[in-house]
């Protein structure tokens, strides 16, 4: 649809982070399944269980990759567009004038990858404008820009 | 009538009215002990609590005073942390009178001045003598409308009211009995009666084992609704819609059209044979209550018409959303596959300033959203919708309960609506917001 807008995406480091999470979980699950299967059932079943865990991990990696690719945001003249979701695809339109405040958060993992999440809050609880995995500089730029635009276009409730 | 510049105290029985609920609760707790004949040492604790609360209440009453000073209402209160509040009467948007049940017994009423401005707070005078509360309100309103302070005679503001309806009590009771709340209460009661008849031992076990709390909860919810909506009178006043009514606690409040974020009309399945519907509005309210503002202020969903027929609804709607769309278009036929129950109810319509959407499975719900109140827009497409080339556009507002959505529209239509709503909302914000 909107061909005229310039979509930006979260940092590629977010994909690395998400893949790493999946990889660690997969390795742990594979080892646990393999060892338990070997001890209590038979070595072959243990190997099978480990293989299954690896296959599930690969499937999860695919989901993570597609989900990463679905994220996008665009700053238009009067509103911010945020799109996300693979199974349920969502597109939010949040006017700058409706913004009440901007949140920039970074969990420990995100911090170690120098990433941050920017969230825009409006008076409506249902509003959904969260952009994860922005590089720190981009997050700061976006926060300042949103605050500036929000102030310029602020409208009463 | 209050002399300008003279400091006055609140109604002397205010602390009792304010502490009333807690006191009654504690008295009920003490009742078994009294019936047993004699109060033990353990029961002295609640008594002490009552005494302390009452004492604190009287201290608070003693240090609180208020006056009309020029164009301001001033309230001073507090013992350790002295607070002086000043409310400019020119910013008053509405003055509500609240009479809680105990207050009516003791001749007390609360005046609540709803202020405009960004804070949207309220000044509360709780409580003043019931005999002079209306006079006082009229005087304050006259001052708010710019009368000189020394000759602010109470003008008959109420005379401009044009009463639209008073909800008949029989209809209210009937409507609650066949509403969801009513059904729930009836089911619980019926289950209890049946078990009591068939197996008294089980029933008493249920009651003593927490069932009583449940029963009380259900009854309370039903009762609260009846109490609030009893003989609710809807009147058309110059400054908005005026609602007054109540059984035990009387309230009178004015709803300005500008405060309305969204309007919702609910038609439960069983109400439809009678042509009844229920009209509610979502009002703006700050997340945090400002100083001197109570918790009641935060409740945002207000019933404007507990039960009424369509012509009446239209009359009330004329007052709150005058330029609403009159026609709605149904969704594509293939939606029947995805939402068989909803299909008959789904529709939407729009003008340049207002959107109306209808939805709901058994309970048909119609929402009106003025475009200048739109907070954000969302387009959502699920897996089934993708297969059928459908999408939903949600219209988010600041209210609490109204959820307007253009559900299951053709993708092209949804995209087009998303674009046009964003533009129309921007235009509406500029001109009216």
CB B356 within 8 A of CB B305: no
| pLDDT score for A1 | 45
Q: Which of B118-127, B254-263, B325-334 shows the lowest mean pLDDT across its residues?
A: B118-127
| A54 plus A78 within the same structural domain | no
Does B28 map to a domain? yes
Percent of chain B past pLDDT 90, that is, above it, reads 30
* Percentage, residues of chain B above pLDDT 70: 86
| Chain A residues close to B429, C-beta within 8 Å | 95, 97, 155
Block residue for tokens 């995995």: A133
Instruction: Please state, in angstroms and as integers, the Cα–Cα distance from residue B234 to each residue in A154, B252, B307, B317, B413, following that order.
Output: 34, 10, 12, 12, 38
In a domain, A3, yes or no: no
A77 lies in the same domain as A63? no
CB-nearest to A90 from B379, B403, B433 is: B379
Q: Is the pTM of this model over 0.90?
A: no
Within this chain, do residues B424 and B275 fall inside the same structural domain, yes or no? yes
Does the beta-carbon distance from B397 to A1 stay under 8 Å? no
pLDDT 10s digits, B233-269 = 998 887 788 888 888 888 888 887 877 889 999 999 9
Q: Is A139 in the same domain as A99?
A: yes
Q: Determine the pLDDT at residue B388.
A: 95
Q: Is the pLDDT of residue B398 over 90?
A: no
B105 and B192 inside one domain: no
Pair (A96, A31) in one structural domain:
no
| Facing A124 at nearest CB: one of B376, B380, B383 | B376
Residues of B in contact with A123 (CB under 8 A): 284, 375, 398
Lowest model confidence (mean pLDDT) among B81-85, B165-169, B304-308: B81-85
Q: Residue B97 — pLDDT band, cuts 50, 70, 90? A: confident
Q: Is residue A7 part of a domain?
A: no
Residue B376 to residue A126, Cβ atoms within 8 A:
yes
Give the model's confidence band at B365: pLDDT under 50 very low, under 70 low, under 90 confident, else very high. Answer: very high
pLDDT digits 0-9 by tens, B200-231 = 888 888 777 777 778 888 888 888 889 889 98
Residue B157 or A124, more confident: A124
Distance from CA of A156 to the nearest CA of B (A): 6
Number of domains in chain B: 3
The answer to whether residue B3 sits within a structural domain is: no
Question: Are A79 and A99 contained in the same domain?
Answer: yes
Asked, for residue A2, whether it belongs to a domain, the answer is: no
| A1 part of a folded domain | no
For residue B181, give its domain range.
Answer: 169-229
The per-residue pLDDT for range A98-151, each reduced to its tens digit, is 888 898 999 999 999 999 999 998 888 888 889 999 999 999 999 999 989 888
Average the pLDDT over A5-22 and give the result: 93
Averaged pLDDT, A60-80: 94
For residues A54 and A80, state if they share a domain.
Answer: no
Q: Domain range holding A16? A: 12-68
CA distance B262 to B282: 5
pLDDT at B421 over 60: yes
């Amino acid at each position: 649809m909107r061909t005229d807008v310039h979509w930006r995406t979260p940092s590629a480091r977010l994909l690395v982070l998400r893949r790493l999470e999946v990889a660690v979980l997969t390795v742990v699950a594979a080892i646990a399944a393999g060892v338990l299967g070997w001890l209590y059932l038979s070595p072959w079943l243990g190997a099978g269980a480990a293989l299954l865990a690896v296959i599930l991990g690969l499937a999860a990696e695919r989901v993570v990759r597609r989900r990463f690719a679905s994220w996008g945001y665009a700053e238009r003249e009067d509103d911010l567009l945020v799109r996300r979701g693979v199974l349920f695809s969502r597109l939010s339109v949040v006017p700058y004038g409706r913004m009440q405040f901007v949140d920039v958060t970074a969990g420990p993992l995100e911090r170690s990858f120098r990433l941050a999440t920017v969230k825009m809050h409006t008076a409506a609880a249902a509003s959904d404008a969260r952009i994860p995995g922005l590089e720190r500089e981009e997050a700061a730029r976006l926060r300042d820009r949103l605050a500036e635009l929000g102030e310029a276009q602020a409208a009463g409730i | 009538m209050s002399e300008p510049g003279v400091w006055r105290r609140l109604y002397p029985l205010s602390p009792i009215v304010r502490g009333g609920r807690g006191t009654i609760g504690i008295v009920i707790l003490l009742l078994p002990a009294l019936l047993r004949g004699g109060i033990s040492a353990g029961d002295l604790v609640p008594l002490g609590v009552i005494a302390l609360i009452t004492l604190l209440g009287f201290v608070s009453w003693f240090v609180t005073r208020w006056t009309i000073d020029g164009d301001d209402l001033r309230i001073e209160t507090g013992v350790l942390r002295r607070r002086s509040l000043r409310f400019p009467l020119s910013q008053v948007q509405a003055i509500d009178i609240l009479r809680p049940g105990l207050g009516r017994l003791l001749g007390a009423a609360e005046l609540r001045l709803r202020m405009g401005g960004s804070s949207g707070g309220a000044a509360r005078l709780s409580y003043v003598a019931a005999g002079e509360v209306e006079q006082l309100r009229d005087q304050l309103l006259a001052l708010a409308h710019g009368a000189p302070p020394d000759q602010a005679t109470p003008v008959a503001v109420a005379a401009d009211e044009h009463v639209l309806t008073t909800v008949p009590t029989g209809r209210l009771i009937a409507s609650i009995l066949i509403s969801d709340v009513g059904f729930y209460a009836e089911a619980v009661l019926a289950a209890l009666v049946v078990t009591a008849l068939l197996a008294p031992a089980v029933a008493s076990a249920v009651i003593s084992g927490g069932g009583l709390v449940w029963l009380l909860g259900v009854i309370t919810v039903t009762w609260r609704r009846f109490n609030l909506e009893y003989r609710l009178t809807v009147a058309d006043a110059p400054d908005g819609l005026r609602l007054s009514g109540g059984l035990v606690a009387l309230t009178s409040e004015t709803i300005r059209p500008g405060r309305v974020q969204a309007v919702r009309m609910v038609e439960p399945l069983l109400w439809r044979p009678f042509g009844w519907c229920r009209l509610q509005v979502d009002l703006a309210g700050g997340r945090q209550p400002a100083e001197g503002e109570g918790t009641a202020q935060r409740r945002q969903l207000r019933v404007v018409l507990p039960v009424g027929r369509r012509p009446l609804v239209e009359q009330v709607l004329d007052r709150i959303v005058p330029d609403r769309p009159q026609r709605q278009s149904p969704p594509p036929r293939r939606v029947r596959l995805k939402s068989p129950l909803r299909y008959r109810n789904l529709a939407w319509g729009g003008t340049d300033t207002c959107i109306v959407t209808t939805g709901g499975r058994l309970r048909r719900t119609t929402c009106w959203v003025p475009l200048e109140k739109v907070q954000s827009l969302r387009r959502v497409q699920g897996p089934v919708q993708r297969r059928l080339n459908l999408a939903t556009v949600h219209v988010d507002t600041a209210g609490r309960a109204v959820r307007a959505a253009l559900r299951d529209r053709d993708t092209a239509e949804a995209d087009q609506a998303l674009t046009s709503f964003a533009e129309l909302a921007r235009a509406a914000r500029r001109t009216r917001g």
